[in-house]
Structure 1
Amino acid sequence: MGYCIKLLGIVKKLRGKVQIAVHPTLVPETHVLANVSDVFNAILVRGDIVGDTLHYGQGAGADATASAVLSDLADAALDLKNGSMGRVPPFVPHEQDGAVLPMDKAISPFYLRLSVIDRPGTLAKIAAILGEMKIGICSVTQPEGHVGESVPLILMLHDAPDLVMRQALKKIGRLSAIKAKPTMIRVETFE
C-alpha cells in the first residue's frame, strides 16, 4: 500500500485553531519519518522560511529510557525542594495561534479495513454511508486469494472530521455484511 504505521504526536494549525493529537498514524513509506525505527525518535518541524527540518536521535531503549526517568525524578525532586510545581508550563496556545481544536473536529484522511461477506451490493452500501456522511473515497482494494465467508476490503478515504468518520464507522459496522469490527487508522500526508 505504500504506508507504514507510526505513533505520532501531531501539533499543527488548522482553520485558525491548533490541532493536537497522539495516535497511531499511517505515514507514506517515502517520507523521512517512515525510516525512523528501533531506539530512535524524530521531531519534524515545518517553518515558513526553512521548510521541513528533522531532529533525530535516540529516544527509546535502556539508556535513553533510564536517562528520561532520571531526568523526570530530578525535576520532581527540584519541584518538591523548591515548592514549585511544574517548572515547565503545560502547553498553552498563544492568542494568535487560536484555541485548541477539539479532537472531534480534527481533520485527516483515513484508512479503513473491513471484513465483509463477498456478495454483490456490499461495497455500494458502504459507499452510500460514506457519501451520506460527505466522506470521499480515494481508493478501494479487495485483495485476491481469500477463500471463505468473509474477505478484506480496504478503503483509503479523503479528509474527514474525526467525529464524522467515527459516526460513519458505527453505521458501517451495523451492516449485515460486516463480519468483524472495522479498523480505522488516521493517515498523515505532511502537506
Structure 2
Amino acid sequence: MADIDYFFATLSPYAYLAGDRLERIAEKHGAKIAYKPLDLIALFGRTGGVPPRDRHPARQEYRAIELLRQSAKLKMPFNLKPAHWPTNMAPSSYAIIAAQLAGGGDVGALVQSFLRACWAEEKDIAQDDVIRACLQAAGFNPALADSGLLQGAETYAANLEEAAERGVFGAPFYITSDGGRFWGQDRLEDLDAHLAKLKA
C-alpha cells in the first residue's frame, strides 16, 4: 500500500480548501500521511514560482475568482482577504512537526485548524494563544508550542529541501510512496483513483 507525503503551507488557501478530504482518502485506502509543512514563498523562489503579491494583475484577479468559486463549490466559509495574511508560517509549522512527533492527537485536524483559523476565522496563526488553542482542539498538549523549537526549525528547513529535490513547486502537493505526484486540492479525486488502482 502506498503512503502519502503531504507538502503544504499553513497559509495556503488551497490547502485550506482541501478540508479533510486527504484524511478521508487515506483512511479509505489504509494509507498513512506524513505531514510536511514548508516555507512556500521560499519554495517559489527555488522552483521558478512567483509569490501572489508579485504576480501580474491578471493572475491575481483570476486567483481571486477561482478561490471564491472553489470555496462556494465546496461550501466552505472563506475570506478572500483575511486580516492576518500573510503572517509568519514558521510557528504553526513547528507546532505541527512537534505534534506529529509527540503523537496522541489528530495531526490532520491540527493542520485544518490552522488553515481554518487563517482563512475563515480571522486569527493570526503566528500568535502563541492561537497555536495553543489549535493544539488543544486537536487533542495535543498546548505546551508543544514551547517544545522542540530547534527540531521544528531543522525539520521545517529539511522539508523545503526535500520538496525542491522531489519536484514539488506548490501547495498542496501529494506524493505517494510509489512515485505518484498530485498538485492541488482539485486533484484529490485523482489521488483517490490512483490509490484505488494500487489496491486492485
Q: Under a length normalisation based on structure 2, what TM-score does the superposition of the two structures give?
A: 0.25
Q: Under a length normalisation based on structure 1, what TM-score does the superposition of the two structures give?
A: 0.26
Higher relative contact order (CA 8 A, sep 6+): 2
**Structure number having the greater helix percentage:** 2
